Amino acid sequence: MNIIVLGPPASGKGTQAKLLAKKLALQYLEMGDVLREIAKEATPVGREIDRIMHQEGKLVPDQMTRQVVDDWLKKMGTKRGIVFDGFPRSLGQFKILEELLTPRGEEIDKVIYLKVSRETSIKRLTARRICPQCDFEYNLVTKPPKNNELCDQCQVKLIKRKDDTPEVIELRLKTYQQLTHPLVKYVRQRGILTKIDGEKSIEAIHQDIMERLKS
């Protein structure tokens, strides 16, 4: 089964997609993470991606995401089923994914859409912290570290993600409205959308997703 997890920034898609992949023993692709690694590279492409992600709050060009997914699918080889986290995020990217899956005899079976309000998105993004050492993600409200603002594993002071500034948050929300929201509408029409209330606790949302996948 191939599942896409969609939602506005800080809807919890990363957390839920990881839980889902673990529970169903599926492979997992987190687009944001792959792109963040590329953005660290001291190359023209790395610098361009860094600017788009961390200053402009836009989506990186489709041809780049196509390459990432194509390479990743080839490397994975097997057909165990995949949870796609943060890809596709536009109608164009959805078509790209279909083009890449069709020759493998695969399709997109479900799209999980985590619905949260704009206010929740902003509140969560403002409270998000990451460990600079292991990249583990915390949220001071919904997923706090045990000790002050220190990583539970590394005991290192947590930091804010580079694109979690008020200016870039605003731009990312705009990008979501312009490009990702139309995709949600499209997959609803195709009858593969499962809408989930993303305002609940992490565990409650996971339970809801598992229930809905059974039906």
Does the annotation mark 124 as catalytic?
Answer: no
Question: Pick the catalytic residue: 36, 124, 129, 172?
Answer: 172
Per CB under 6 A, the list member of 4, 6, 60, 122 interacting with ligand AMP is 60
Burial of 63 (0-12, 13-18, 19+ CB in 10 A): exposed
| Active-site position among 66, 161, 195, 200 | 161
7 to 26: interface string for ligand AMP, x by CB under 6 A: --x-----------------
Told to check if 121 binds ligand AMP by CB under 6 A, we report no
Any residues with CB less than 8 A from the CB of 184 and at least 6 apart, and which?
Answer: 6, 111, 113, 193
Min separation Cβ 136 and ligand AMP, Å: 14
Q: Which two tokens stand for residue 42?
A: 């001291």
Closest CB 147 distance from ligand AMP, rounded Å: 25
The least distance separating ligand AMP from the CB of residue 162, rounded to whole angstroms, comes to 10
- Told to check if 93 binds ligand AMP by CB under 6 A, we report yes
**Nearest distance, CB of residue 167 and ligand AMP, angstroms:** 13
Q: Interface residues with ligand AMP (CB under 6 A)?
A: 9, 31-32, 35, 52-53, 57-60, 65, 86-89, 93, 172
